[in-house]
Amino acid sequence: MDNIALPQPAPSATPVDRVRYLIRLLRKTQAQFGQLIGLDPSNLSRTLSSGQDLRDSFINRIVVNVGVSKEWLVNGTGAPFPKGMHAEEIPDHGERMLPAGSARSGAPVYDIDVTAGCAELSRMFTDERIIGYLDIPGVNPADPICRVSGDSMAPKITNGGFVAIRPLSDTSIIFWGQIYLVIMDDFRMVKYIRRHHDPDMVILHSANPAYDDMEVPRAAIRKLYMVESILNFDIVG
């Protein structure tokens, strides 16, 4: 698919139009989308071409397996993927971190790029790596703040932006559509995690449409950090 932004359905669009838009948005074939929601591709094709109202059971399949908003799918209200539990983007009100030598106040800021290298991240969260503290509404003082390089999550997370992350002890529990820092043996990546039709796999999705989805085994994920807050500005100044 080209990198041109996909226009959202018109206000007059039907639920079927929004399903077709969703298939294109996810860069799936109709058969792949059918697999994703656990429906035989021929049944999906008949459902979308029947011209009849979508059954609630069909809509619920999409809502549960894709994480899309039911209100948007049925009525076109709101966004396909609502904020919900998603990471909060913190606006820049001019707050800057306190230097490391000052009394501790707020969340620690580390000189760590979470997308660079593949070393064990938890062992890098040492006092020597702290460059300051940020006390700002919306950022949990218990969450470490680190930098993110690259544009795969742009414009959601800009190149060089910061994220506050929370370690998770159980990688089997995933909130679909949330942004995570994903730790694997050879990579550390910040991505949306979406449900795969194979329960042993997950989809790592980039916000930047120039990047293709990645399908990875769940067993390959060694550690997950939930991205709680996003700061797309320089907090060091």
Q: Are 29 and 42 in contact (CB under 8 A)?
A: no
**Mean of all residue pLDDT scores within the chain:** 86
Task: Please give the average per-residue pLDDT across 99-116, as a whole number.
Answer: 84
- pLDDT tens across 183-193, in order? 999 999 999 99
Closest CA to 36 of 11, 61, 73, 6: 61
In this structure, CATH architecture of domain 88-231: Ribbon (2.10)
If one compares 110 and 82, the residue with the highest pLDDT of the two is: 110
% of the chain residues with pLDDT over 90: 45
CATH of domain 15-75: 1.10.260.40
Q: How does residue 136 score in pLDDT terms, banded at 50, 70 and 90?
A: confident
Give the per-residue pLDDT at 32: 87
Per-residue pLDDT at 121 exceeds 90? no
25/7 Cα distance (integer angstroms): 10
Domain boundaries, the chain: 15-75, 88-231
| Pick from 160, 128, 162, 159: nearest CA to 143 | 162
